[in-house]
Amino acid sequence: MDSACSDQNSIHIPVLKKEVLSYLKITTDGIYLDGTVGLGGHAQAVLAALSDKGRLIGLDSDAEALKRCHVRLSHASSYHLFHDSYRNFPAHLKSLGIREVDGMILDLGLSSLQLDSPQRGFSYRQEGPLDMRFDVTSPLTAEAIINGWNERDLVRILYEYGEERRAKRIVNSIIAKRGHAPVRTTLDLRRIIADVTPERYLTKTLSRVFQALRIAVNHELESLQQFLASFSSGLKLGGRIVVISYHSLEDRMVKTKFRRLQKGCICPPSLPQCRCGKKPEFKILTRKVIRPQEDEIAENRRARSARLRAAEKTG
């Protein structure tokens, strides 16, 4: 369930790159928004397909990733990077005097740089603080959640975001331990989970619990929800959106939104004629979700849970 964008050695490999470029159907003088620009893997590929007149706007919550992205893209002149959540993209387009773009991409989840940096606290494999913030200036950390949230809310996030069926047991164990001393590190949490989890389920359980915490810390579903409600207004007619998600909840949100945008009249069938006047606004380009091929997964194991959906603005 981990999502990431590189191989085990932290060499950056953007997920489903060929498919992203193909679905974006880049026009060489176009303007493109990468809402999760990260280490610039997809952005670099988009820029390579653009002429001098084309532009790329990249956003990321992680300032460290943006620094590296700058270095990676420094050969190109036509890009702008912003340290912000993609949910706030309209303000940044406005600051550049851009009303609409030709294409948008979101590659959700976390990067290998984040996962492989122990001090960021995303990994249960290495000792680090229980942090998990994409944006290290934001106030909520995983430590605050683990030590401060009540039983009901902890169970809810483990159950909803982690799809962890044994959430209650794990939370009871956390609450018992934090009664003696605060849970401070990734390996402290790992030990607490290991105490109440059969060995054969441990890796999957750790993945689920850490993923659930990360989603809660970074308000990931709320950001996606807000973006899905507003992206259409920033996209030109004929413009395309491509979203790669790594979690079934995110994929479902994208699928549901695209279907709604593709749908025309939503009047009850009992009405003799349409009263709502709703017209299709988008055409779905991926009738079935796109998954990485086996050779991509063999090269980049972290691509295995990626799911890509794309749509074109038609009205």
Ligand X SMILES: C[S@@+](CC[C@H](N)C(=O)[O-])C[C@H]1O[C@@H](n2cnc3c(N)ncnc32)[C@H](O)[C@@H]1O
What residue ranges bind ligand X (CB under 6 A)? 5, 12, 14, 35-36, 38-42, 59-62, 65, 85-87, 107, 109-111, 134, 218, 223
Measured from the CB atom, the residue of 69 and 171 that comes closer to ligand X is: 69
Measured from the CB atom, the residue of 188 and 251 that comes closer to ligand X is: 251
Please give the structure tokens belonging to residue 4.
């990431």
Question: Residue 120 CB, nearest distance to ligand X (Å)?
Answer: 10
Measured from the CB atom, the residue of 133 and 177 that comes closer to ligand X is: 133
Please give the structure tokens belonging to residue 125.
């494999």
Question: Residue 217 CB, nearest distance to ligand X (Å)?
Answer: 11
Question: Residue 116 CB, nearest distance to ligand X (Å)?
Answer: 13
SS3 state of residue 23: helix
Question: Residue 179 CB, nearest distance to ligand X (Å)?
Answer: 33
Residue 134 CA: distances (Å) to CA of 65, 83, 105, 304, 315: 9, 11, 18, 22, 35
User: How many residues does this entry show for the chain?
Assistant: 315
Q: List Cβ neighbours of 173 (8 Å cut-off, separation of 6 or more).
A: 192, 193, 195, 196
- R_g of the chain, CA atoms, integer Å: 21
Measured from the CB atom, the residue of 205 and 218 that comes closer to ligand X is: 218
Question: Residue 162 CB, nearest distance to ligand X (Å)?
Answer: 17
Distance CA 234, CA 100 (A): 4
Which DSSP category does 130 fall into? S
Question: Residue 68 CB, nearest distance to ligand X (Å)?
Answer: 9
Q: Report whether 250 contacts 3 (CB < 8 A).
A: no
Q: Token match 């290495």: residue?
A: 126
The closest alpha carbon to 86, from 258, 222, 285, belongs to: 222
Measured from the CB atom, the residue of 139 and 198 that comes closer to ligand X is: 139
Which strands make up the sheet holding 79-83, listed edge to edge?
79-83, 55-60, 31-34, 101-107, 235-245, 307-313, 282-284
Please give the structure tokens belonging to residue 193.
């989970």
Measured from the CB atom, the residue of 111 and 305 that comes closer to ligand X is: 111
SS3 state of residue 90: helix
Question: Residue 20 CB, nearest distance to ligand X (Å)?
Answer: 8
Question: Residue 145 CB, nearest distance to ligand X (Å)?
Answer: 17
Measured from the CB atom, the residue of 12 and 92 that comes closer to ligand X is: 12
Question: Residue 14 CB, nearest distance to ligand X (Å)?
Answer: 4
Measured from the CB atom, the residue of 12 and 177 that comes closer to ligand X is: 12
Q: Checking DSSP bridges between strand 235-245 and strand 55-60, what pairing results, if any?
A: unpaired
Measured from the CB atom, the residue of 133 and 190 that comes closer to ligand X is: 133
Q: Which residue(s) pair with 80 in the sheet?
A: 57
